[in-house]
Amino acid sequence: MQHLYSPWRSAYLQEKKQDCECIFCHLSSVEVGQEWVFYKDEICYGVMNAYPYNPAHFMIIPHKHIDSPHLLSESEWLHLSGKVLCGIEMLYEFGAEGINTGINIKQAGGAGIPNHLHWHLVPRFQRDTNFMTSIAEGRIYGCDFEEIFNTIQELSRKYF
């Protein structure tokens, strides 16, 4: 068994369970700047992924507690999609050389939190795959999470 040092996870492990069953509903109620939420409007919000695949991996999440995009109104879907486009532009300025986006719909679709729709934006970099990923089946997050959050929050003021 491999063990990777991940000190930023200690806060999560020591955290008391939220009264709310859905973490995304909880995050919907917090202020911008708290708990990694960097943007918020009347329909959706942006939040950093707490366990990112790459630096600056974030999500756009509707406030509505729904599990599939077909439950959004057309105007809500267009709004959410527009924010994803803003996020793509923002990640290019951040330095991404490519981007993966996606929605995993429901548990069978691979969603880690299947009851609340969320859209991932994962920046990719030419050199983000190294021997750890290729050979050791592990990933290294080589950046300061809080510093990345501050950068993304600042960029969101320009793009969102």
Q: How confident is the model at residue 10 (pLDDT cuts 50, 70, 90)?
A: low
**Confidence (pLDDT) at 16:** 55
Binding residues for substrate: 49, 120
The CATH class for the domain spanning 22-159 reads alpha beta
pLDDT band at 35 (very low <50, low <70, confident <90, very high): very high
Which of 13-17, 53-57, 147-151, 156-160 has the lowest average pLDDT?
A: 13-17
Alpha carbons within 13 A on the beta-carbon side of 144: 4
Annotated binding site: 49, 120
Write down the pLDDT at residue 60.
Answer: 98
- From the list 57, 63, 79, 118, the catalytic residue is 118
pLDDT, residue 72, reads 98
Contact 103, 112 (CB under 8 A): no
Average pLDDT over the chain reads 87
Domain ranges of the chain: 22-159
To the query of whether residue 118 is one of the catalytic residues in this protein, the response is: yes
Q: How far apart are CA 81 and CA 112, in angstroms?
A: 21
pLDDT score recorded for residue 12? 52
Do the beta carbons of residue 60 and residue 87 sit within 8 Å? yes
Task: Please list the alpha-helical segments (H only) found in the chain.
Answer: 10-14, 23-28, 74-94, 131-134, 145-159
